[in-house]
Structure 1
Amino acid sequence: MDDRHEQSGAILRTKRIGLHTQREPIVVMRSDCPVCRSEGLAPRSQVLLKADGREVAAILFQGADELLAPNEIGLSEAAWELLGGIEHERVRISHLPPVESMGSVRGRIFGGSLGQTDLARIVEDVVAGRYSDVQLSAFITAGTAVPFDDEETFALTAAMAGAGDRLDWEFDVIDKHSVGGLPGNRTTPIVVAIAAAAGLRIPKTSSRAITSPAGTADAMETVTKVDLDLDTIRKVVEAEGGCLAWGGALRLSPADDIFIGVERQLDIDPEGQLIASVLSKKIAAGAKRLVLDIPVGPTAKVRSQAAGHDLAKRMTGIAARFGVAAHCLLSDGRQPVGRSVGPALEMMDVLAVLRGESDAPADLRDRALTLAAAVLELGGAVGRGRGNERARQLLDDGSALRRFESICRAQGGFREPKVARLHRIVTASGSGTVQAVDNRKIARLAKFAGAPDSPSAGLRLHARLGDSVNRGDPLFTLHAETAAELNYALDYAASAGDAITLSK
């Protein structure tokens, strides 16, 4: 912050009030607080807190006078942690100085473009906590209505990759990623297990769910620890060849995790942000080779083959400018992958494939083998055209399962995923052949049931494209931890139209 604000503001004592706001720092002051009057602070003012060398930008709210003593300021959990978590600490509060990079955001909203310097300053301010969620929403929206071009996307990727820590390896590493938008597409644990069993090094860091009912980190957390620090990741990868960690526990492209939190609330994932999100994390993680899965379908994130090819071209072109060899695969995104949607349920599907169970979902197995084959070939573990055979061998002989279990043990131990407390079957109201499956409605059903916040929540599919269904046959089973969430999902299923469409 500007030096002229160093000693400005009034002094109050901190009080932890147990307010959970996801990641946005919130502070509460009395409505009759003389500091508010003297400093001209009103509800939703942006304020700057300083305590013991720490700075936090926060949003101010005012509460009932009896909530706080006259000399106290209430801190949300996010603000409390950022300030160091000390009760009754002296904190200086003042107006937040203007965030100059917001001028660039406003310019982009009104038709301008953002250069490297603009985006570097925006990302710097975002990581420093100077952007409120409202300002973050403005930036994300500015790149959605009129998408970022290649130069803006390259500059944003560079700024995001350079804003946090970097992993450097003494050996070549490879990575795999899906652009998302397809429920149940939990191929990553299988691919990592196969690649590591083949002798490749694949330090996989994954995000939690953005707009979906589960991300790889959410699913993996149902069986092992995923919030690993950099030293632990190094040890796991050096010992086992791979890891499956949550990237948010690290400072690899920290701006990405902030953007993801707001994108999740807006339920959008603009293409420029998507590319920068994926590539910045992979660049920061030290990957030099990358296999990308791009599901394509009418209700997937990417709607057409043409759009998929355009995204693949942009991804590979921008990755190459950072010295990363990217290989993109367009896959079938017309319906969910596997039989389940939700963290624990998806992990059950993964384990069924790794364990070679007779009822393991064949489509999840086949998709994972296709991606693993590409990883093995791009990583140099096998020659061109031999990847599928080698991947299948490592899966069928149990090598992939043993490596997956070893990775979990190295990360903190393995446990079986838990089953939800409540279940309810939703049946077909008529007869016919399954003509379409709406990925977005299926995802919403799983989220309304509680996923991913309740890891065992979600749904299990019983009908897929081409299946013949009679009236009263089960279409899917909802899983929830509370009756309220189960009823919420059932209400949506009854009012939102068919998530699974049958031919007449």
Structure 2
Amino acid sequence: MTDTLALIPAGIDTYRQPVIYMHEDCHICRAEGFAAQTRVRIDLRDQWVIATLNVVARGEWLAVDEAALSASAWSAIGAKRGDIARLSHPEPATSSSRLRAKAYGERLTEQDFASIIRDTLDHRLTDIDLAAFITACAGERLDDAETVALTRTMQAAGETLDWGGRTVLDKHCVGGLPGNRTTPLVVAIVAAAGQMIPKTSSRAITSPAGTADTMEVLAPVTLDERALRRVVEAEGGCVIWGGALNLSPADDHFIRIERPLDFDSTGQLVASVLSKKAAAGSTHVLVDMPVGATAKVRSAEDAEALMARFLYVGEAIGLRLALHLSDGSAPVGRGIGPALEAADVLAVLRRTAGAPKDLRERALDLAGKLLDLAPQGLCQAGRARAEALLDSGEAEAKFLSICAAQGGFTEPQLAPHRVEIPALSDGVISAIDNRVIARIAKLAGAPGQKVAGVRLGARPGDRVSRGQPLYEIHAATPGEAEWARGYAERHADVFAIAEEPE
């Protein structure tokens, strides 16, 4: 057949974007008019995938009668080296007109969103198409009804866990606050209290660490549904990465585009969070919303609008929702980055003398409110119960049991390269810029390098002297350490230091 080629693995990880590599002299490229960035349908036995074409100039690694597939494309069709696949032009995405409609300000229906989600999962939409959709929905361009419709269609596109009518507690933070790693603590406390809390978490989108990134330092987080159920039935809770469970799978595609764009929209944020909570089988959900000038939610007015959207959508899809406003003016804990945040979590659980008090107090507040939210809640006594479980060591024991059930506990390690950044003047720290300090941690290698990040040596309200270390950059390589140091030196005002009154 003239429209077939032998397949070989390219050995290239393109994350969730299927890519096909073809030689520039390939007969199919010439006959079909395929060019760089063309969308190509690949059929193999009873599987198919749509991939983006990269054209290979003359070279020895790819023959003219072969096509190489990226890791995601190879996996999608279950290919084996030497398989013969049929290549063709795919049918146009049926949702293209709805994308254009949204870009011009039209409201979309549940049917419209379902079409977009379907084409997203079938890879019929290019990254440019998805970027246009995300941009067209940014800010307040999704109203309440559209957000409900998007949430429902995102959930319906994947699996939904069924826990047999039992109460399932859950917690989510909208983000934007470095080091705010309360989730593992909340899960340990709530599970120790005898409640069910199967926590599925995400990896970092625009931050130096997501909950799954931090938890992965301590225990395996890539569990399938069977393993998830085994852990939860044994321990009452877990902290795992949700990406392996096909819960609201379109969201993972949107996140891949949002990461380089470095922004969220209100409607898509709510749809992302609540579609995954509903898909995880949660019944009662607490949403933590840090508010601060350099947090994701910057003002009381923004918080009020976001809270209203969460409550509206939660009620519409049948979730019992509560919201918690917290201080978002500065990072939480000492560590920013997966291993450093994991060390903070363990310090709180182990009740060590140097454990960060702010992380402990936030975790107790959230665990207490979540215990109060349960149908057999403790009527405002949840926080006292949470504190007793933490102080007695029961939460620590439960956390270690959860880690063991997920595959085994591991102590976090320190980075081999560390650089101290000193204060340039005497005074009192009045503020820390959340966004800049997070950027420094990312330049140091977080979250890709688990040991990378920033460890804070001072906090708002502390008096410091010129030359005193404000924070320490942790990196896995000297190059990343120097890269982060250079940025830090150009942004010395990340710590605002006010002169002490005479």
TM value normalised by structure 1: 0.97
Report which stretch shifted further, 78-87 or 384-393: 78-87
The reply to whether residue 62 of structure 1 matches residue 55 of structure 2 is yes
Give the equivalent residue in structure 2 for 1:299.
Answer: 294
Give the equivalent residue in structure 1 for 2:330.
Answer: 335
Q: Which runs of 5+ in 1 are unaligned?
A: 1-6
Structure 1 residue corresponding to 2:215, chosen from 216, 220, 236: 220
Q: What's the secondary structure of 1:414's corresponding residue? A: coil
Give the equivalent residue in structure 1 for 2:440.
Answer: 445
Give the equivalent residue in structure 1 for 2:42.
Answer: 49
* Residues 322-372 of structure 1: per-residue CA shift (max 9 Å, x gap): 111100001000011101100110010000000000110000000000000
State the Cα distance separating 1:382 from its structure 2 match: 4.0
Question: 1:151-170 residue pairs with structure 2 within 5 A?
Answer: 151-170=145-164
The reply to whether residue 402 of structure 1 matches residue 397 of structure 2 is yes
State the Cα distance separating 1:25 from its structure 2 match: 1.2
Report which stretch shifted further, 157-166 or 378-387: 378-387
Give the equivalent residue in structure 2 for 1:241.
Answer: 236
Structure 2 residue corresponding to 1:73, chosen from 61, 67, 70: 67
* Residues 291-317 of structure 1: per-residue CA shift (max 9 Å, x gap): 010000000000001211221111012
Q: What's the secondary structure of 1:347's corresponding residue? A: helix
Q: What's the secondary structure of 2:431's corresponding residue? A: strand
Q: What's the secondary structure of 2:151's corresponding residue? A: helix
**Amino acid corresponding to residue 162 of structure 1 in structure 2:** A
The reply to whether residue 360 of structure 1 matches residue 348 of structure 2 is no
For 1:137 and 1:431, the matched residues in 2 are separated by: 46
* Residues 183-210 of structure 1: per-residue CA shift (max 9 Å, x gap): 1010000001110111110110001011
Q: Any conservation in 2 of the 1:14–1:73 contact (CA below 8 Å)?
A: yes
**Amino acid corresponding to residue 360 of structure 1 in structure 2:** A
State the Cα distance separating 1:22 from its structure 2 match: 2.2
Structure 2 residue corresponding to 1:90, chosen from 84, 89, 92: 84
Q: Any conservation in 1 of the 2:190–2:196 contact (CA below 8 Å)?
A: yes
Cα pair distance change 1:497/1:95, threshold 3 Å: farther
The reply to whether residue 150 of structure 1 matches residue 160 of structure 2 is no
State the Cα distance separating 1:497 from its structure 2 match: 4.6
State the Cα distance separating 1:41 from its structure 2 match: 0.8
**Amino acid corresponding to residue 14 of structure 1 in structure 2:** L
Give the equivalent residue in structure 2 for 1:3.
Answer: none
For 2:452 and 2:241, the matched residues in 1 are separated by: 20
Question: 1:82-481 residue pairs with structure 2 within 5 A?
Answer: 82-144=76-138, 146-170=140-164, 171-380=166-375, 382-481=377-476
Cα pair distance change 1:131/1:364, threshold 3 Å: same
Q: Any conservation in 2 of the 1:450–1:485 contact (CA below 8 Å)?
A: yes
For 1:396 and 1:128, the matched residues in 2 are separated by: 50
Give the equivalent residue in structure 2 for 1:37.
Answer: 30
Q: What's the secondary structure of 1:376's corresponding residue? A: helix
Q: Any conservation in 1 of the 2:336–2:438 contact (CA below 8 Å)?
A: yes
Query: Identical aligned pairs, as a percentage?
Result: 49
For 1:419 and 1:95, the matched residues in 2 are separated by: 50
* Residues 263-322 of structure 1: per-residue CA shift (max 9 Å, x gap): 112111111111001000000111110001000000000000121122111101210111
Q: What's the secondary structure of 2:419's corresponding residue? A: strand
Q: What's the secondary structure of 1:260's corresponding residue? A: helix
**Amino acid corresponding to residue 98 of structure 1 in structure 2:** P
For 1:225 and 1:395, the matched residues in 2 are separated by: 23
For 1:354 and 1:382, the matched residues in 2 are separated by: 23
State the Cα distance separating 1:381 from its structure 2 match: 5.0
TM value normalised by structure 2: 0.97
Give the equivalent residue in structure 2 for 1:26.
Answer: 19
Q: Any conservation in 2 of the 1:58–1:132 contact (CA below 8 Å)?
A: no
* Residues 354-398 of structure 1: per-residue CA shift (max 9 Å, x gap): 000011000000000000000110014542120111110000000
Count of residue correspondences: 497
For 2:344 and 2:139, the matched residues in 1 are separated by: 37
* Residues 401-430 of structure 1: per-residue CA shift (max 9 Å, x gap): 011011111111111112111111111112
The reply to whether residue 503 of structure 1 matches residue 498 of structure 2 is yes
For 2:46 and 2:132, the matched residues in 1 are separated by: 30
Q: What's the secondary structure of 1:222's corresponding residue? A: helix
Q: What's the secondary structure of 1:463's corresponding residue? A: coil
Q: What's the secondary structure of 1:91's corresponding residue? A: strand
Q: Any conservation in 1 of the 2:7–2:79 contact (CA below 8 Å)?
A: no
For 1:163 and 1:36, the matched residues in 2 are separated by: 34
Q: Any conservation in 2 of the 1:183–1:341 contact (CA below 8 Å)?
A: yes
State the Cα distance separating 1:498 from its structure 2 match: 1.9
State the Cα distance separating 1:29 from its structure 2 match: 1.1
**Amino acid corresponding to residue 9 of structure 2 in structure 1:** R
Q: What's the secondary structure of 2:31's corresponding residue? A: helix
For 2:81 and 2:140, the matched residues in 1 are separated by: 46
Report which stretch shifted further, 131-140 or 295-304: 131-140
State the Cα distance separating 1:499 from its structure 2 match: 1.4
Q: What's the secondary structure of 1:147's corresponding residue? A: coil
State the Cα distance separating 1:146 from its structure 2 match: 5.0
Q: Any conservation in 2 of the 1:198–1:381 contact (CA below 8 Å)?
A: no
Q: What's the secondary structure of 1:151's corresponding residue? A: helix
Q: Which runs of 5+ in 2 are unaligned?
A: none
**Amino acid corresponding to residue 10 of structure 1 in structure 2:** D
Q: Any conservation in 2 of the 1:345–1:456 contact (CA below 8 Å)?
A: yes
